[in-house]
Amino acid sequence: MINVKRLVLDVLKPHHPNALEFAHAIAATGPDCRVQVTVLEVDEKTETLRVEVTGSALDFGRVHEAIGQCGGSLHSIDEVEVCSDGGA
Amino acid sequence: MHWLHRARLWLDITRSQGIARRYFVVNGFDGALTMLGLIMGFAISGASDLSVVLNACLGAAIALGVSGVSSAYVSEAAERRKALAELEAAMGKELGDSAHGHAARWVPLLIALVNGAAPLFISLFILLPLWLARAGVALPWLPLHTALGCAVVAVFLLGVFLGRVSGQHWLRSGLQTLFIALLTMGLVLLLE
Protein backbone atom coordinates (compact mmCIF):
# COMPACT_ATOMS: atom_id res chain seq x y z
CA MET A 1 0.00 0.00 0.00
CA ILE A 2 1.40 3.34 -1.08
CA ASN A 3 0.46 6.36 1.02
CA VAL A 4 0.71 9.97 -0.08
CA LYS A 5 2.47 11.92 2.68
CA ARG A 6 2.95 15.32 1.13
CA LEU A 7 1.69 17.30 -1.85
CA VAL A 8 2.72 20.70 -3.11
CA LEU A 9 0.13 22.11 -5.49
CA ASP A 10 -0.09 25.13 -7.75
CA VAL A 11 -3.66 26.38 -7.50
CA LEU A 12 -5.60 29.26 -9.03
CA LYS A 13 -8.69 30.32 -7.09
CA PRO A 14 -11.18 33.22 -6.84
CA HIS A 15 -10.64 35.70 -3.98
CA HIS A 16 -13.50 34.13 -2.05
CA PRO A 17 -13.43 31.91 -0.11
CA ASN A 18 -10.25 33.42 1.32
CA ALA A 19 -7.01 31.52 2.00
CA LEU A 20 -8.05 30.59 5.53
CA GLU A 21 -11.45 29.19 4.48
CA PHE A 22 -9.75 27.46 1.54
CA ALA A 23 -7.20 25.81 3.86
CA HIS A 24 -10.04 24.74 6.18
CA ALA A 25 -11.86 23.04 3.29
CA ILE A 26 -8.75 21.08 2.30
CA ALA A 27 -7.89 20.18 5.91
CA ALA A 28 -11.38 18.69 6.28
CA THR A 29 -10.50 16.00 3.70
CA GLY A 30 -8.45 13.89 6.13
CA PRO A 31 -8.14 13.20 9.86
CA ASP A 32 -4.54 14.41 10.27
CA CYS A 33 -4.30 16.73 7.31
CA ARG A 34 -1.98 19.71 7.67
CA VAL A 35 -2.34 22.50 5.14
CA GLN A 36 -0.07 25.43 4.43
CA VAL A 37 -1.26 28.01 1.91
CA THR A 38 1.02 30.66 0.45
CA VAL A 39 -0.50 33.36 -1.74
CA LEU A 40 1.98 33.91 -4.59
CA GLU A 41 0.10 36.35 -6.79
CA VAL A 42 -3.11 38.37 -6.60
CA ASP A 43 -5.00 39.45 -9.73
CA GLU A 44 -8.24 41.38 -10.11
CA LYS A 45 -10.51 38.36 -9.62
CA THR A 46 -8.16 35.49 -8.85
CA GLU A 47 -5.12 34.54 -6.80
CA THR A 48 -2.38 31.98 -7.33
CA LEU A 49 -1.52 29.80 -4.36
CA ARG A 50 1.15 27.35 -3.35
CA VAL A 51 -0.69 24.75 -1.29
CA GLU A 52 1.30 22.29 0.78
CA VAL A 53 -0.69 19.40 2.23
CA THR A 54 0.82 16.86 4.60
CA GLY A 55 -0.69 13.86 6.35
CA SER A 56 -0.19 10.16 6.99
CA ALA A 57 -2.38 9.06 4.06
CA LEU A 58 -3.67 11.90 1.90
CA ASP A 59 -6.62 11.26 -0.39
CA PHE A 60 -5.66 13.22 -3.51
CA GLY A 61 -9.13 12.79 -5.01
CA ARG A 62 -10.78 14.43 -2.02
CA VAL A 63 -8.19 17.22 -1.94
CA HIS A 64 -8.81 17.87 -5.63
CA GLU A 65 -12.58 17.85 -5.07
CA ALA A 66 -12.28 20.30 -2.15
CA ILE A 67 -10.25 22.66 -4.34
CA GLY A 68 -12.93 22.43 -7.05
CA GLN A 69 -15.74 23.00 -4.54
CA CYS A 70 -14.05 26.24 -3.49
CA GLY A 71 -13.97 27.29 -7.15
CA GLY A 72 -10.24 26.61 -7.45
CA SER A 73 -8.38 25.12 -10.35
CA LEU A 74 -5.44 22.75 -9.88
CA HIS A 75 -2.72 23.84 -12.31
CA SER A 76 0.02 21.43 -11.39
CA ILE A 77 1.33 19.03 -8.80
CA ASP A 78 4.76 20.46 -8.07
CA GLU A 79 6.02 18.10 -5.38
CA VAL A 80 4.90 14.71 -4.12
CA GLU A 81 6.10 12.55 -1.27
CA VAL A 82 4.78 9.02 -1.00
CA CYS A 83 5.86 5.96 0.96
CA SER A 84 4.88 2.32 1.08
CA ASP A 85 3.59 0.61 4.26
CA GLY A 86 6.33 0.26 6.86
CA GLY A 87 8.29 3.09 5.29
CA ALA A 88 9.54 6.08 7.30
CA MET B 1 -22.54 20.34 5.30
CA HIS B 2 -25.47 21.77 7.24
CA TRP B 3 -27.82 23.88 5.06
CA LEU B 4 -27.35 26.90 7.30
CA HIS B 5 -23.57 26.63 6.95
CA ARG B 6 -23.95 26.32 3.18
CA ALA B 7 -26.22 29.36 3.04
CA ARG B 8 -23.66 31.33 5.07
CA LEU B 9 -20.84 30.20 2.76
CA TRP B 10 -22.82 31.23 -0.35
CA LEU B 11 -23.69 34.61 1.13
CA ASP B 12 -20.05 35.02 2.16
CA ILE B 13 -18.43 34.20 -1.19
CA THR B 14 -20.89 36.43 -3.04
CA ARG B 15 -20.56 39.12 -0.35
CA SER B 16 -24.36 39.27 -0.16
CA GLN B 17 -24.94 39.63 3.59
CA GLY B 18 -25.02 43.41 3.22
CA ILE B 19 -27.49 43.19 0.32
CA ALA B 20 -29.85 40.90 2.30
CA ARG B 21 -29.63 43.21 5.32
CA ARG B 22 -30.33 46.27 3.18
CA TYR B 23 -33.30 44.60 1.48
CA PHE B 24 -34.69 43.51 4.85
CA VAL B 25 -34.67 47.07 6.17
CA VAL B 26 -35.76 48.81 2.94
CA ASN B 27 -38.67 46.51 2.16
CA GLY B 28 -39.55 46.01 5.84
CA PHE B 29 -39.78 49.79 6.13
CA ASP B 30 -41.97 49.85 3.02
CA GLY B 31 -44.29 47.27 4.58
CA ALA B 32 -44.53 49.08 7.92
CA LEU B 33 -45.19 52.50 6.37
CA THR B 34 -47.72 51.11 3.88
CA MET B 35 -49.68 49.50 6.72
CA LEU B 36 -49.35 52.69 8.78
CA GLY B 37 -50.73 54.77 5.90
CA LEU B 38 -53.57 52.34 5.18
CA ILE B 39 -54.65 52.01 8.80
CA MET B 40 -54.41 55.78 9.31
CA GLY B 41 -56.63 56.20 6.24
CA PHE B 42 -59.20 53.79 7.67
CA ALA B 43 -58.95 55.42 11.11
CA ILE B 44 -59.65 58.96 9.87
CA SER B 45 -62.47 57.62 7.66
CA GLY B 46 -64.12 56.15 10.75
CA ALA B 47 -64.10 52.63 9.34
CA SER B 48 -65.64 50.23 11.81
CA ASP B 49 -65.85 46.99 9.82
CA LEU B 50 -62.67 45.18 10.81
CA SER B 51 -63.10 42.56 8.08
CA VAL B 52 -62.90 45.23 5.38
CA VAL B 53 -59.85 46.84 7.00
CA LEU B 54 -58.14 43.46 7.46
CA ASN B 55 -58.82 42.30 3.91
CA ALA B 56 -57.59 45.56 2.39
CA CYS B 57 -54.44 45.54 4.54
CA LEU B 58 -53.83 41.82 3.93
CA GLY B 59 -54.18 42.35 0.20
CA ALA B 60 -51.56 45.09 0.34
CA ALA B 61 -49.28 42.95 2.55
CA ILE B 62 -49.48 39.99 0.15
CA ALA B 63 -48.83 42.27 -2.82
CA LEU B 64 -45.79 43.75 -1.06
CA GLY B 65 -44.50 40.23 -0.29
CA VAL B 66 -44.95 38.96 -3.85
CA SER B 67 -43.48 42.14 -5.30
CA GLY B 68 -40.50 41.86 -2.92
CA VAL B 69 -39.80 38.23 -3.85
CA SER B 70 -40.20 38.61 -7.61
CA SER B 71 -38.37 41.92 -8.09
CA ALA B 72 -35.40 40.89 -5.93
CA TYR B 73 -35.17 37.45 -7.58
CA VAL B 74 -35.15 38.80 -11.12
CA SER B 75 -32.56 41.49 -10.43
CA GLU B 76 -30.32 39.40 -8.16
CA ALA B 77 -30.35 36.38 -10.50
CA ALA B 78 -29.18 38.60 -13.36
CA GLU B 79 -26.43 40.14 -11.18
CA ARG B 80 -25.23 36.72 -9.92
CA ARG B 81 -25.20 35.26 -13.47
CA LYS B 82 -23.10 38.20 -14.65
CA ALA B 83 -20.68 37.90 -11.71
CA LEU B 84 -20.34 34.13 -12.25
CA ALA B 85 -19.67 34.55 -15.97
CA GLU B 86 -16.94 37.11 -15.22
CA LEU B 87 -15.36 34.83 -12.63
CA GLU B 88 -15.50 31.85 -15.01
CA ALA B 89 -13.76 33.96 -17.66
CA ALA B 90 -11.03 34.91 -15.17
CA MET B 91 -10.62 31.31 -13.97
CA GLY B 92 -10.79 29.83 -17.44
CA LYS B 93 -13.20 27.10 -16.38
CA GLU B 94 -16.86 26.48 -15.59
CA LEU B 95 -17.78 26.91 -11.93
CA GLY B 96 -21.28 25.40 -12.06
CA ASP B 97 -20.41 22.58 -9.62
CA SER B 98 -18.43 24.77 -7.24
CA ALA B 99 -19.69 26.79 -4.30
CA HIS B 100 -19.75 29.79 -6.66
CA GLY B 101 -22.14 28.02 -9.03
CA HIS B 102 -24.41 26.94 -6.17
CA ALA B 103 -24.28 30.46 -4.77
CA ALA B 104 -25.23 31.96 -8.14
CA ARG B 105 -28.33 29.73 -8.19
CA TRP B 106 -29.39 29.95 -4.53
CA VAL B 107 -28.34 33.40 -3.30
CA PRO B 108 -30.92 35.22 -5.49
CA LEU B 109 -33.62 33.01 -3.97
CA LEU B 110 -32.40 33.63 -0.41
CA ILE B 111 -32.27 37.38 -0.97
CA ALA B 112 -35.68 37.33 -2.67
CA LEU B 113 -37.19 35.50 0.32
CA VAL B 114 -35.72 38.07 2.72
CA ASN B 115 -36.99 40.88 0.51
CA GLY B 116 -40.50 39.42 0.35
CA ALA B 117 -40.75 38.10 3.90
CA ALA B 118 -39.71 41.38 5.55
CA PRO B 119 -42.74 43.47 4.48
CA LEU B 120 -45.11 40.50 4.77
CA PHE B 121 -44.20 39.54 8.35
CA ILE B 122 -43.92 43.12 9.55
CA SER B 123 -47.35 43.80 8.05
CA LEU B 124 -48.78 40.69 9.75
CA PHE B 125 -47.33 41.90 13.07
CA ILE B 126 -49.04 45.27 12.58
CA LEU B 127 -52.35 43.59 11.68
CA LEU B 128 -52.22 41.29 14.71
CA PRO B 129 -54.42 43.56 16.91
CA LEU B 130 -57.10 43.63 14.20
CA TRP B 131 -57.16 39.84 14.08
CA LEU B 132 -57.30 39.59 17.85
CA ALA B 133 -60.14 42.12 18.00
CA ARG B 134 -62.08 40.25 15.33
CA ALA B 135 -61.56 37.02 17.27
CA GLY B 136 -63.16 38.68 20.31
CA VAL B 137 -59.99 39.37 22.33
CA ALA B 138 -60.35 42.52 24.45
CA LEU B 139 -57.65 45.11 23.62
CA PRO B 140 -56.63 48.03 25.87
CA TRP B 141 -57.26 50.52 23.02
CA LEU B 142 -59.37 50.62 19.86
CA PRO B 143 -58.13 47.95 17.38
CA LEU B 144 -57.07 50.49 14.72
CA HIS B 145 -55.19 52.56 17.32
CA THR B 146 -53.48 49.44 18.68
CA ALA B 147 -52.46 48.47 15.13
CA LEU B 148 -51.08 51.99 14.61
CA GLY B 149 -49.09 51.54 17.83
CA CYS B 150 -47.70 48.24 16.49
CA ALA B 151 -46.71 49.99 13.25
CA VAL B 152 -44.88 52.72 15.15
CA VAL B 153 -43.10 50.09 17.28
CA ALA B 154 -42.12 48.13 14.13
CA VAL B 155 -40.69 51.25 12.48
CA PHE B 156 -38.80 52.14 15.68
CA LEU B 157 -37.36 48.59 15.91
CA LEU B 158 -36.23 48.75 12.27
CA GLY B 159 -34.39 51.95 13.18
CA VAL B 160 -32.79 50.23 16.18
CA PHE B 161 -31.67 47.40 13.88
CA LEU B 162 -30.23 49.91 11.42
CA GLY B 163 -28.39 51.59 14.27
CA ARG B 164 -26.81 48.30 15.32
CA VAL B 165 -25.72 47.61 11.72
CA SER B 166 -24.22 51.05 11.18
CA GLY B 167 -22.68 51.39 14.64
CA GLN B 168 -24.85 54.43 15.35
CA HIS B 169 -26.49 54.68 18.81
CA TRP B 170 -29.64 52.52 18.73
CA LEU B 171 -31.85 55.18 20.32
CA ARG B 172 -30.79 57.92 17.92
CA SER B 173 -31.37 55.66 14.91
CA GLY B 174 -34.70 54.42 16.32
CA LEU B 175 -35.89 57.99 16.92
CA GLN B 176 -34.94 58.96 13.35
CA THR B 177 -37.17 56.26 11.85
CA LEU B 178 -39.85 57.04 14.44
CA PHE B 179 -39.84 60.63 13.19
CA ILE B 180 -40.45 59.35 9.64
CA ALA B 181 -43.42 57.30 10.89
CA LEU B 182 -44.88 60.30 12.72
CA LEU B 183 -44.34 62.48 9.63
CA THR B 184 -46.23 59.90 7.53
CA MET B 185 -49.08 59.91 10.03
CA GLY B 186 -49.14 63.71 9.94
CA LEU B 187 -49.28 63.78 6.15
CA VAL B 188 -52.15 61.26 6.10
CA LEU B 189 -53.96 63.38 8.69
CA LEU B 190 -53.96 66.23 6.17
CA LEU B 191 -56.47 64.16 4.16
CA GLU B 192 -59.02 64.62 6.90
Q: What is the pTM of this model?
A: 0.80
| Helix, strand, coil percent values for chain A (each to nearest 5) | 20, 50, 30
A58-79: burial string, b at 16+ Cβ within 10 Å, e else: beeeebbebbbbbbbbbeeeee
Over residues B143-159, the pLDDT tens digits come to 999 999 999 999 999 99
A18 touches chain B (CB under 8 A): no
Please state the ipTM of this predicted complex: 0.80
Nearest residue on chain A to B93, alpha-carbon basis: A73
Over residues B94-110, the pLDDT tens digits come to 998 899 999 999 999 99
How far CA A82 is from CA of A6, A62, A86, in Å, comes to: 7, 17, 12
Task: Find the CB nearest B13 among A12, A16, A46.
Answer: A16
In A, which residues are within 8 Å of B15 by CB distance? 16
| pLDDT at position A88 | 47
Cβ-contact B139, B146 below 8 angstroms: yes
Over residues B31-50, the pLDDT tens digits come to 999 999 999 999 998 877 88
Length of chain B in terms of residues written: 192
Residues 107-166, chain B: which have Cβ within 8 Å of A? none
Q: Residue A57 and residue B114: Cα distance in Å, rounded?
A: 44
Side chain identity, residue A10 = D
Cβ-contact B147, B134 below 8 angstroms: no
